[in-house]
């Protein structure tokens, strides 16, 4: 649900609010911030897809979890390089939640 909320915020909030909340949108084009919001929401919905059908949803879950891990690891690196420890920690926590989802569902 965090990823859906974060993606929704990136899509709907004015850029000034996003800059105040996160900082990094100040150095990113608006289209990139909005695009990340769309990607975040689509991947989050992919993680929830097994709720509809395990046979169809399992491959979507694995793909979406992999995408979220790549996105979160990239953002962790970006925040670490920029010395934004708070956002880097949030991304590390999100990785700690997402990696077990991928690993646990690979074998199921």
**Cα(97)–Cα(73) distance, integer angstroms:** 12
Which letter does DSSP use for residue 26 in this model?
G
pLDDT at 45 over 60: yes
Mean pLDDT computed over every residue of the chain: 91
pTM greater than the 0.95 cutoff: no
pLDDT tens digits, residue range 62-83? 999 999 999 999 999 999 998 9
């Amino acid at each position: 649900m965090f990823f859906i909320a974060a993606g929704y915020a990136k899509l709907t909030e004015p850029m000034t609010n996003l800059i105040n909340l996160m900082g990094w949108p100040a150095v990113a084009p608006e289209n990139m911030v909005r695009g990340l919001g769309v990607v975040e929401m689509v991947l989050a919905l992919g993680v929830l897809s097994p709720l509809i059908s395990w046979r169809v949803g399992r491959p979507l879950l694995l793909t979406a979890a992999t995408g979220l891990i790549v996105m979160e690891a990239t953002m962790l690196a970006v925040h670490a390089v920029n010395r934004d420890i708070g956002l880097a920690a949030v991304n590390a926590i999100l990785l700690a939640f997402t990696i077990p989802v991928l690993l646990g569902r690979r074998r199921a």
